[in-house]
Chain A
Amino acid sequence: MARAVTKQRKTLNTLVAWAVGLLIFFPILWTILTSFKTEAQAINDPPLFLFFDWTLENYGVVQERSDYMRFLWNSIILAGGSTLLGILVAVPAAWSMAFVPSKRTKDILLWMLSTKMLPAVGVLYPIYLLFIELGLLDSRVGLTIVLMLINLPIIVWMLYTYFREIPGEILEAARMDGASLREEILYVLTPMAIPGIASTILLNFILAWNEAFWTLNLTAAKAAPLTAFIASYSSPEGLFYAKLSAASTMAIAPILILGWFSQKQLVRGLTFGAVK
């Protein structure tokens, strides 16, 4: 039976939801607002909310001082490359775990996830040494592989969950119909799992885009993405809040826009299978 919701109750719910939403969004909003202030206004006490002299000066300075496009391009390559590479590895892995499970499948899944519980800094040193040894430091190739590996458990888990929703009989039918393993995955499984694969790609793109620990530690100039771009405005310069905010806004804008346009897909993908 549907619970009766009174009108007042509904209004209250809406207000609370908006309040929580604004609270979460506020830091981002504040960053965006600050990026349009002068440095003096940015540290004004009391803080200025909307009534200040809006200026684009900071953006000009940031663009003048560093090559935004190069960082953006690196971010796109790193996030896109690591996600695609991850999908290519994860689809067969998730296939085997979802459709030919063994006694150990659950353990392997948990083991994979457990690597995400390890603090990244714990393996920084060995990986750093490996990168020096292999000449991968500050290279897009090296960073793409590292980003792929750190997000791989999540990709496999998500795909595994989606694949589990696909009836095994359909894949058996494909096998009876003469499809090879490759054809079965390519023509039957993948098209059926497209919504799930799409959300996985989106989420991982976002995760890789926002990843800062490895991108900051393993890059210098050549392969540095937008996270490094923001960081370059934080420490050595002293406290230039407005410019830092402008850089941050420029760095998060692309992913924010992507997230905005794909939110339906993202929500659908993340709640996939939860409700029948």
Chain B
Amino acid sequence: MGRIVLEKVKKSFSEVTVIPPLDLEIEDGEFVVFVGPSGCGKSTLLRLIAGLEDVTDGTIRIDGNDATSIPPAKRGLAMVFQSYALYPHMSVRKNIAFPLKMAKMDQAEINRRVENAASVLNLTDYLDRRPGQLSGGQRQRVAIGRAIVREPAAFLFDEPLSNLDAALRVGMRMEISELHKKLDTTMIYVTHDQVEAMTMADKIVVLRAGNIEQVGSPLELYREPRNLFVAGFIGSPKMNLIEGAEAAKHGAHTIGIRPEHIDVVEAAGEGVWSGVVGVSEHLGSDTFFHIHETGLAETITVRADGEVSLKHGDTIHLKPRADVIHRFDAEGLRQS
């Protein structure tokens, strides 16, 4: 079980409020991602749930019980840190066994669980090594191993992949998702990388300055961002946000159109933006063009097929798809 409910949780560091009163419900077995730019309070929120920070006000409930003033060890949660935080003086085996040893578990049971976790995480051959002798990915797996042996009510991940190189990160992302499917335990995952959030989450919580901007499934956030911040944060490359006359045409203060929702067309015409190609980013499958001089104040990013060959300075004609234009009012809120 791992249902976590935050009720009016507030956190201040002396005079500065980092988390204004906030409510959030995390269902049992859910994979929830807290995402937001650095300094948005996502790690603080996770640490409040972990018990590593004390809440200034409000209540944290874990499976219905008030856990607000319960010490971290007694909350039944396991945490994986950004730096892995392995015990450098202990072997991998002892690292993974540490929480069980602290729980005064029977040695035979400890051995069984450690062997089991090691085989799940492909660490069996490394059990007698020290963390210093492992690669980044292996260390990360040891940290996860140390978390899973306890069979916690929920896992807390604090930017666990940000110290890994890009290729490894994609692999570990899959492994963690796989693990979630297998264990079916609540996971709360903090990241500033919206791609991680989109690919892994059942539910994404977008945070800014301690406030929850929006909660929803990845596709909900993608399709119906509640405000300009979420619109700009979710999706890669960023959504094009256009103000002024063009927005007024749609009865909005700002309109948003994603780069993948703009078609490259042959000729100028009604509702077509013509401009000049600036920087092109070739990813192979896709190419992103940055277009200037469209008559709009903003540079427009557009996704085209990888085969489209346009050079710097070429003229290009763009037609946004009318049905996927997002409209926002002067406060930046979505207009339905």
By a beta-carbon cutoff of 8 Å, the part of chain A in contact with chain B is: 167, 169-170, 172-180, 183, 187-188, 191-192, 194
Contact = CB atoms under 8 A, between A and B. Distances in A.
A206 B251 CA distance: 82
A169 B85 CA distance: 6
15 contacts: A167-B85, A169-B81, A169-B82, A169-B85, A174-B98, A175-B73, A176-B72, A176-B79, A177-B99, A178-B73, A178-B74, A178-B99, A188-B87, A191-B89, A192-B87
Contacts of A176: 50, 52, 72-73, 77-79, 99
B237 interface: no
B83 interface: yes
B271 interface: no
Contacts of B103: 178
Contacts of A173: 79, 81, 85-87, 146
A187 B88 CA distance: 12
Q: How big is the B interface, by class?
A: 20 to 34
A187 B98 CA distance: 10
Contacts of B82: 169
A97 to B, nearest CB: 19
Interface in B27-86: 50, 52, 71-74, 77-79, 81-83, 85-86
A178 B85 contact: no
Contacts of A194: 89
B79 to A, nearest CB: 5
What's the dominant secondary structure at chain A's contact region?
helix
A177 B98 contact: yes
B102 interface: yes
A192 B85 CA distance: 12
Given A172-B79, A180-B102, 8 more contacts: A167-B83, A169-B85, A172-B85, A176-B73, A176-B99, A178-B150, A179-B102, A192-B87
Contact of A183 (B102, B146, B150): B102
A179 B102 CA distance: 6
A187 B101 CA distance: 11
A194 B90 CA distance: 13
A179 B101 CA distance: 9
Contacts of A169: 81-83, 85
A174 B50 CA distance: 12
A176 B85 CA distance: 11
Contact of A177 (B88, B89, B146): B146
A175 B85 contact: no
A76 B7 CA distance: 60
Contacts of B85: 167, 169-170, 172-173
A64 to B, nearest CB: 51
A155 B117 CA distance: 42
Contacts of B77: 176
B81 A172 contact: yes
A188 B77 CA distance: 20
A177 B102 contact: yes
Contacts of A172: 52, 72, 79, 81, 85
B140 to A, nearest CB: 13
B83 A177 contact: no
Nearest to A103: B14
A179 B146 CA distance: 13
B88 A175 contact: no
Nearest to B81: A169
A82 B318 CA distance: 81
Q: Which 10 A-B pairs have the closest CB atoms?
A: A177-B99, A178-B102, A173-B85, A178-B73, A169-B85, A191-B89, A176-B79, A170-B85, A169-B81, A175-B72
Contacts of A179: 73, 98, 102
Contacts of A175: 52, 71-73
A272 to B, nearest CB: 15
A183 B98 CA distance: 11
Contacts of B88: 170, 192
Interface string B137-163: 000000000100010000000000000
B168 to A, nearest CB: 20
Contacts of A178: 73-74, 99, 102-103, 150
A170 B95 CA distance: 11
Contacts of A191: 89
Nearest to A172: B52
